[in-house]
A = this chain, B = another copy of it.
């Protein structure tokens, strides 16, 4: 994959593929899966619509490529136990403030079954794995991860998708201080606490 040993092939137009993916993420994030059209994506990337089909086969294939997403969760076992909540909120806010892929996935997962499946996979695999790295009762791991996902995705949904005014106007710092204790309890606490 990353072995350009020959100076003869600087990849003719890999730039085109990258441009398509950028435009696709923008459109999918802004309009959702069905309203984002291949024609519009191609126009944004200033290429011909048929190129999209040639490179990615179908609209589903394009989405699958554009919605590849890694939460890039930090190693939670290296975090002081009482800072887990704060670490997580801060990570998520910075992670998706600069990358609209998650917003695209969030919007698409509302109506597209394949996107919903991918969303389940990401949060089930990546988040559950991260939660499992520090020592709580293994039988509660999945539930703790689910609760964290509910608050994290609710934050993203209200701030980036529906754009509720109070959630849009609040600074990342304030959001962190309000939401961190919630995640902290979901991760390490008990219901009644």
Contacts and interface: CB of A to CB of B under 8 A. Distances in A.
A110 B161 contact: yes
Contacts of A32: 32, 34, 110-111
Contact of A119 (B34, B149, B162, B193): B162
A35 B32 CA distance: 12
* Max chain B C-beta neighbours (<10 A), residue from A124, A166, A193: A166
Given A151-B154, A186-B178, A116 B193 contact: no
Interface in A159-175: 159, 161-167, 170, 174
Given A174-B191, A191-B174, A191-B178, A158 B166 contact: no
A64 interface: no
Contacts of A191: 174, 177-178, 181
A130 to B, nearest CB: 14
Secondary structure dominating the interface of A: helix
A31 B147 CA distance: 25
A109 B162 contact: yes
Interface residues of A, number: 49
A170 B185 CA distance: 17
Contacts of A110: 32, 106-107, 110-111, 161
A122 to B, nearest CB: 10
Given A110-B111, A149-B158, A192 B164 contact: no
Interface of A: 31-35, 106-107, 109-111, 116, 119-120, 123-124, 142-143, 145-147, 149-155, 157-159, 161-167, 170, 174, 177-179, 181-182, 185-186, 191-193
Given A116-B162, A119-B162, 16 more contacts: A32-B32, A32-B111, A35-B111, A109-B161, A120-B162, A142-B165, A143-B170, A143-B174, A146-B158, A146-B166, A150-B167, A153-B162, A154-B154, A154-B158, A178-B186, A181-B191
